[in-house]
Amino acid sequence: MTWQFSGEIPSTIGECQLLQYLFLQNNSLNGNIPITLTQLKGLDTLDLSGEFDSQDGESTSLVAVKIVTICSSIDTEGMISKAIVYDFMPNGNLEDWLHPETNDQADERHLNLHQRVTILLDVACALDYLHFHGPEPIVHCDIKPSNVLLDADMVAHVGDFGLARILVEGSPLMQRLTSSMGIRGRIGYAAPEYGVGNTATTHGDIYSYGILVLETVTGKRPADSTIRSGHGLHGRLMDIVDRKLVLDFEKWLQARDVSPCSRISEFLVSLLRLGLSCSQELPSSRMQAGDVINELCAIKESLWSLDVIRHVKK
């Protein structure tokens, strides 16, 4: 028999200390996810995949990438293996598009400027939701191109929450999870304050996001120091940005009059400065996700107004 539940998950669920498995997928639930779930120390499997109806009536995704199911198995050596199954992402991840392994892939996988801005906007929206609009703030702790998944429509989704932290003030679980983990995230993307043992914060995600922005615009990995300084961006712009974007720029020059091209240069400089602003060494100096969204929306709308998309071959 299949039961369909509706309404809110009761906060008293935290009193069910013997609860091991909780499957609530595909129900008509609304309201907030009770933070008391973090008190269930014996909880082995939790499936909340699907969508919740929020207080204002809008449908809100629980996670940036929808969880299909959770499974476990025992290998030949008797070790238990657990896995979270996500929706299939036909276009892989951003890492594959920015750094294709073969020349054939490089020819097939090309992101124009508008696509890159859209992907960065999708990721910023996901971070804004995680940081400010969920039941409790969540820090992803591992923002990097390989964790930005692209669906069939090239919509970006943030995946791999293996290092994520729920920021619950005074929660014993929170204190235990953030007490001693070393550097959170991949070297090059992890915020510098994590290297000295600081706990996870939303500022750390913004730093990683800033590095992601710079890599998306330049096509260069964090180890490349070419763009770590904001000085002289205008003068050496074409030496900094991804060569594929430069070729797009040149094609667009041939197809259109020269006057709007200075606007595109301004957009590229704005994106680079955005990345640098997000990856400031001092956490309090970094931008908030909401401000990033506003700036990227303005750039995206301006690109449409310049008619760039129809005149640059993807």
**Quick one: pLDDT at residue 157?**
93
Which of 165-179, 185-199, 248-262 bottoms out in mean pLDDT, i.e. has the lowest?
A: 165-179
**Quick one: pLDDT at residue 216?**
96
Q: How far apart are CA 72 and CA 74, in angstroms?
A: 7
Type of residue at 190: A
For 115-168, write each residue's pLDDT tens digit: 999 999 999 999 999 999 888 889 999 999 999 999 999 999 998 888 888 887
Let me know if 153 is a catalytic residue: no
Say if residue 13's pLDDT is above 60: yes
Q: What percent of the chain has pLDDT over 90?
A: 33
Catalytic one of 122, 142, 160, 205: 142
DSSP per-residue string spanning 103-165 = HHHHHH----HHHHHHHHHHHHHHHHIIIIISSS-EE-S--SGGGEEE-TT--EEE---TT-E
Q: How far apart are CA 69 and CA 178, in angstroms?
A: 27
For 97-122, write each residue's pLDDT tens digit: 999 887 666 667 889 999 999 999 99
Closest CA to 278 of 288, 268, 264, 270: 288
Say if residue 8's pLDDT is above 80: no
Encode 55-67: b = buried (16+ Cβ within 10 Å), e = exposed: eeeeeeebbbbeb
Q: Which residue has the higher pLDDT, 108 or 286?
A: 286
Q: Which domains does the chain have, with CATH numbers?
A: 6-86 (no CATH), 94-311 (1.10.510.10)
- Report whether 59 contacts 73 (CB < 8 A): no
Q: How far apart are CA 39 and CA 15, in angstroms?
A: 8
Q: What is the mean pLDDT of residues 290-301?
A: 94
**Residue 73's pLDDT band (boundaries 50, 70, 90)?**
confident
